[in-house]
Amino acid sequence: MELEQIKAIIAMMKDNDLSEFSMEQDGLKIRIKRGPEGFQPTVTLPPAVPTQLAAAPVSTQAPAAASATPAPAVVANAKHIESPMVGTFYRAASPDAPPYVEVGQEVDVETVVCIIEAMKVMNEIKAEVKGVITEIMAENAKPVEFGQKLFAVRVK
């Protein structure tokens, strides 16, 4: 699917006041959702993306197993900040900037915790929960999937 086709779909959505559009063609899935904050595109590619993402959970499982002692205490009142879209996860606004959040840092519902780049658009992701960051589950500058856990938060 070409960028011009995606732009045409977005224009059609605006013209007809549609809030959501999804389509699947030749293994490519596209979902565009428009809400009060604008458009949130989600594109799922065939084999290449799932293969890369399949490796990511394996690497995040190993640290969780290594820190198995504190995990039961954290799980009881933990929430996860999940990716609202497919894109590239960035912990900071630029390569030379400090990360938005670190493990042990308190966050509230409006705290920006990361950026996800999707289709050359930088989307700030807010915590949407009040608590303390207990784990960073995504790797900086790596692809993330819709619904993938990015951070673990001990709720206050």
77-89 per-position pLDDT tens digit: 789 999 999 999 9
Assess contact for 134 and 102: CB atoms under 8 A: no
- Alpha-carbon gap, residue 153 to 136, rounded angstroms: 9
What is the side-by-side strand order in the sheet with 87-90?
121-126, 112-118, 87-90, 142-144
Q: What integer pLDDT is reported at residue 153 of this predicted model? A: 95
Q: Are residues 86 and 20 in the same domain?
A: no
Domain hosting 80: range is 69-155
Check residue 17 and give left, alpha or beta (phi > 0: left; psi -120 to 50: alpha).
left
Same domain? For 124 and 75 the reply is: yes
Q: What is the pLDDT of residues 96-130, one digit of tens each?
A: 999 999 999 999 999 999 999 998 899 999 999 99
pTM of the shown model: 0.53
Predicted pLDDT at 74: 41
Domain membership flag for residue 95 = yes
- What residues pair up with 79 in beta bridges, in sequence order? 153
* Same-domain check for residues 18 and 91: no
8 Å CB contact between 141 and 90: yes
- pLDDT by residue (tens digit) across 15-39? 777 777 777 777 777 777 776 555 5
